[in-house]
């Protein structure tokens, strides 16, 4: 039975010249877990918007074709009517929590549906227990972390036991631990409750293992609709930027079928005698004071820096490290570990309560949302023309900053904070909502800046991205540096802060990317070390 069905649907946002969806026909059956794949602006969010009814009822625009959601025709039912059957979770948890307390937030959709007080109370308890957020029930939403907010928003979307759950990049703001927990939860909802799930996600390696089917979109059109394995097969030739590291690794050896997850990849490698023995478990050593090899001034130095809240906890607790010119550091850790605070101290936006931060030259800080820097209606007004030209952004003059792609916005914001001349470049979660292609471009840009002598620090939750640019990694927890080592050491030995290749190879040889994995396996093969 179909839960979501589109027939020749074409949709154009108000005042847009191009269609966001172009003659899309598809059908999603009851109990399916479908992953929507595609680059940014390919139409994934619009498709989810249709399933939730906000497209076209809330956004307006031009709509043609036929759409049916849980048996209701979209021409007759709007988001409020569809809310009886559809739960929706957008990207930004901050705008999805409406009430002051968690209990009221979970009760809100049930009250809107006219349930009596007993049913509301029972529904709240059940959804809280199902999501493991019962301890949060009496908390104020203003005090929740990003991950907790996302779980509460998911709880509100699930409170009415929807038949269809639509999620738009729900893990983009979560650390790997919270992201994996959320995906595990979705899998359980799908398997145990039979909830149909439509999930748009850029980090495909995290969710393909749980998917029944993948629908790939490109410029508003469905270009692939297949099982995860068949999708990866298609992506290898048609859309390499959608291919997962595991699939790339196996494709390099000509192995079939492409793996949807770590377990499948390991099984295939094992079957072909290519799975190296797992590395001995290594536990991160406490960071040692690095002895500088040269006498030159470090680009940035933290000396026992504390950031203590008045009558509150210590966000940073005695952080010490040095960063040399040309070094590229990935700052890893869970939400709330102190990464953003550390970057703010580096840029001088905060003053340590104890300790000292020193630097040589200009520090450029790019905060999480580059849109916060763009305050004019024309790119040409954001910076003098000469600076736009030198940053290679002259072609954007005349355009509204909102119309730029994620990557273009980032480059413009970087130019605004003086990233071209900075001796230290700090970026806070720069890949939120970015597709793999844009991430690769950003990684190249960072390497280029580092080659030019700038020290770079990037706080990120994305181990694949960190592996693509970093020469050093710091893992933080509770405001302290708990490991400071080369990325191969930190990103290959853990369960959560590890790349897909590292998890497939069990950390063997410190391989982080598919290409490094291929090299390690080939070397082992040549040495006869494989089982």
Partner 1 sequence: MSYLRRSSPLHAARASIAAAYCAALILAALLTKQPLILGAIGLATALAAAGAGVGRRVARSLYFSGPMVVLVVVVNALVSRNGLTVLARFGDWGPLGQVDPTLEAVCYGVVIGLELGVIVAVCALASATVDPDEVLRSLRRVSFSSALTATLATRMVPLLAADAQRIGEAQRSRVNGASRGAIMRAITTNALDRALDVAATLEVRGYGAARRPPRVVRPVSRHDVAFGCAGGLIAVLACSVSALHLAAFRFYPTVVGRFGVTQLLVAAGFVVLAVLPFLERRGIER
- Asked if 142 touches partner 1 (CB under 8 A), the answer is yes
CB half-sphere exposure, 172, CA atoms < 13 A: 23
Q: Does residue 416 bind partner 1 (CB under 8 A)?
A: yes
521 near partner 1 (CB under 8 A): no
* Binding status of residue 96 toward partner 1 by CB under 8 A: yes
Nearest Cα neighbor of 441 from 395, 415, 406 is: 406
Among 155, 160, 463, 487, binds partner 1 (CB under 8 A): 160
Instruction: Give the integer Cα–Cα distance in Å for 70 and 163.
Output: 8
Nearest to partner 1 of 87, 494 (CB atom): 87
DSSP E strands, 130-178: 164-168
Q: Least separation, in Å, of the C-beta of 79 and partner 1? A: 4
Whichever of 3 and 204 has its CB closer to partner 1, that residue is: 3
By the rule CB under 8 A, 199 interacts with partner 1? no
**Residue from 15, 17, 114, 281 binding partner 1 (CB under 8 A):** 114
Q: Which of 41, 72, 104, 230 binds partner 1 (CB under 8 A)?
A: 104
Of 88, 196, 335, 359, which lies in the binding site for partner 1, with binding defined by CB under 8 A?
88
SS3 content of the chain, % helix, strand, coil (to 5): 40, 25, 35
Q: Which is nearer to partner 1, 168 or 243 (CB)?
A: 168
Please give the C-alpha separations between residue 372 and each of 168, 170, 188, 413, 418, in angstroms, as whole numbers: 22, 22, 37, 9, 15
Q: Phi/psi of residue 259, each to 5°?
A: -85, 135
Q: What is the rounded distance in angstroms from the CA atom of residue 322 to the CA atom of residue 291?
A: 10
The 334-353 contact track toward partner 1, x by CB under 8 A, reads ----------x--x-x----
Q: Minimum distance from CB of 17 to partner 1 (Å)?
A: 21
Query: In the stretch 39-78, what mask flags binding to partner 1 with x, by CB under 8 A?
Result: -------------xxx--xx-------------------x
In whole angstroms, what is the distance from residue 367 CA to residue 379 CA? Answer: 19
Site for partner 1 contains 380 (CB under 8 A): no
The pair of structure tokens assigned to 370 is 């580059």
Q: For residue 205, give the 3-state DSSP assignment.
A: helix
* Residue 116 or 256 with smaller CB distance to partner 1: 116
**Which phi and psi angles does 416 have, rounded to 5°?**
-65, -40
Q: Does the protein bind partner 1 through residue 395 (CB under 8 A)?
A: no
For residues 72 and 225, the answer to whether their CB atoms sit within 8 Å is no
User: Minimum CB separation from partner 1 for residue 125, in Å?
Assistant: 15
> In the complex with partner 1, which residue's Cβ is closer, 122 or 263?
122
**Strand pairing partners for 476?**
333, 481
Least distance to partner 1, CB of residue 265, Å: 37
As given in the structure block, the two tokens for residue 7 are 């027939």
Alpha carbons 167 and 407: distance in angstroms, whole number: 23
146 binds partner 1 (CB under 8 A): no
Q: Which helix (H) or strand (E) holds 184?
A: helix 176-188
Scanning 109-117, 391-399, 486-494, 521-529 for contacts with partner 1 by CB under 8 A, the matching segment is: 109-117
Residue with tokens 């009558």: 311
For partner 1, which residue of 84, 126, 218, 308 counts as binding (CB under 8 A)?
Answer: 84
Contact with partner 1 (CB under 8 A): which of 21, 36, 364, 446?
Answer: 364
Indicate whether 101 belongs to the interface with partner 1 (CB under 8 A): yes
Contact 157, 102 (CB under 8 A): no
135 is a site residue for partner 1 (CB under 8 A): no
Element (H, E) at 130: helix 117-131
User: Within 10 Å of residue 192's Cβ, how many Cβ atoms?
Assistant: 9
DSSP 199: E
Instruction: Single out the residue of 6, 299, 330, 417 in contact with partner 1 (rule: CB under 8 A).
Output: 417
Any contact of residue 383 with partner 1 (CB under 8 A)? yes
How far is 130 from 193, CA to CA, in rounded Å? 11
Which range of residues in 155-163, 167-175, 216-224, 433-441 is near partner 1 by CB under 8 A?
155-163
375 makes contact with partner 1 (CB under 8 A): yes
List the one residue from 352, 380, 418, 433 that touches partner 1 (CB under 8 A): 418
What distance in Å separates the CA atoms of residue 107 and residue 101, rounded to the nearest whole number? 10
Total number of residues binding partner 1 (CB under 8 A)? 65
The answer to whether residue 16 forms part of the interface with partner 1 (CB under 8 A) is: no
What would you measure as the largest C-alpha separation in the chain, in angstroms? 73
Sheet holding 480-485, edge to edge: 363-366, 424-428, 455-459, 328-333, 472-477, 480-485
Residues that bind partner 1 (CB under 8 A): 52-54, 57-58, 78-81, 83-84, 86-88, 90, 92, 94-101, 103-104, 108-109, 111-117, 120, 138-140, 142-143, 156-157, 160, 344, 347, 349, 362, 364-369, 372-376, 381, 383-384, 416-418
């Amino acid at each position: 039975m179909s839960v979501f069905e589109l027939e020749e649907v074409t949709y154009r946002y108000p005042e847009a010249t191009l269609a966001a969806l172009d003659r899309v026909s598809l059908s999603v059956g009851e109990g399916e877990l479908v992953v929507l794949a595609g680059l940014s602006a390919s139409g994934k969010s619009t498709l989810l918007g249709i399933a939730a009814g906000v497209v076209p009822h809330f956004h307006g625009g031009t709509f043609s074709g036929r759409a049916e959601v849980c048996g209701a025709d979209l021409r007759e039912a709007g988001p409020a009517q569809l809310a009886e059957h559809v739960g929706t979770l957008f990207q930004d948890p901050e705008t999805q929590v409406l009430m002051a307390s968690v209990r009221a937030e979970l009760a809100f959709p049930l009250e809107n549906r006219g349930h009596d007080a007993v049913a509301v109370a029972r529904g709240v308890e059940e959804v809280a227990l199902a999501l493991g957020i019962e301890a949060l029930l009496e908390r104020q939403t203003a005090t929740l972390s990003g991950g907790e907010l996302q779980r509460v928003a998911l709880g509100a979307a699930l409170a009415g036991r929807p038949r269809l759950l639509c999620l738009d990049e729900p893990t983009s703001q979560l650390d790997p631990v919270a992201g994996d927990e959320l995906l595990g939860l979705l899998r359980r909802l799908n398997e145990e409750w039979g909830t149909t799930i439509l999930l748009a996600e850029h980090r495909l390696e995290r969710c393909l293992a749980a998917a029944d089917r993948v629908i790939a979109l490109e410029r508003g059109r469905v270009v692939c609709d297949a099982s995860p394995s068949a999708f990866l097969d298609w992506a290898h030739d048609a859309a390499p930027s959608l291919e997962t590291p595991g699939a790339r690794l196996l494709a390099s050896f000509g192995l079939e079928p492409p793996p949807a997850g770590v377990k499948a990849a390991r099984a295939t490698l094992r079957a072909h005698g290519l799975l190296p023995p797992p590395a001995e478990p290594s536990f991160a050593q406490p960071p040692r004071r690095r002895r500088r090899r040269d006498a030159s001034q470090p680009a940035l130095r933290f000396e026992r820096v504390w950031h203590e809240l008045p009558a509150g906890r210590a966000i940073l607790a005695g952080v010490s490290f040095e960063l040399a010119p040309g070094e590229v550091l990935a700052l890893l850790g869970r939400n709330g570990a102190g990464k953003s605070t550390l970057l703010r101290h580096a840029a001088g936006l905060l003053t340590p309560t104890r300790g000292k931060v020193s630097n040589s030259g200009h520090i450029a800080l790019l905060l999480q949302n580059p849109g916060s820097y763009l305050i004019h209606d024309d790119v040409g007004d954001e910076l003098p023309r000469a600076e736009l030209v030198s940053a290679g952004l002259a072609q954007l003059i005349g355009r509204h900053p909102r119309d730029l792609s994620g990557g273009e916005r980032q480059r413009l914001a970087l130019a605004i904070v003086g990233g071209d001349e900075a001796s230290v470049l700090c970026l806070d979660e720069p890949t939120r909502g970015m597709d793999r292609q844009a991430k690769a471009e950003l990684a190249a840009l960072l390497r280029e800046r580092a080659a030019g002598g700038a020290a770079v620090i990037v706080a990120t939750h994305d181990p694949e991205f960190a592996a693509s640019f970093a020469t050093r990694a710091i893992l933080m927890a509770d405001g302290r540096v708990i490991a400071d080592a080369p990325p191969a050491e930190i990103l290959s030995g853990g369960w959560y802060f590890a790349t897909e290749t590292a998890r497939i190879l069990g950390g063997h040889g410190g391989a982080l990317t598919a290409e490094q994995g291929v090299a390690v396996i080939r070397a082992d093969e040549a040495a006869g070390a494989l089982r």
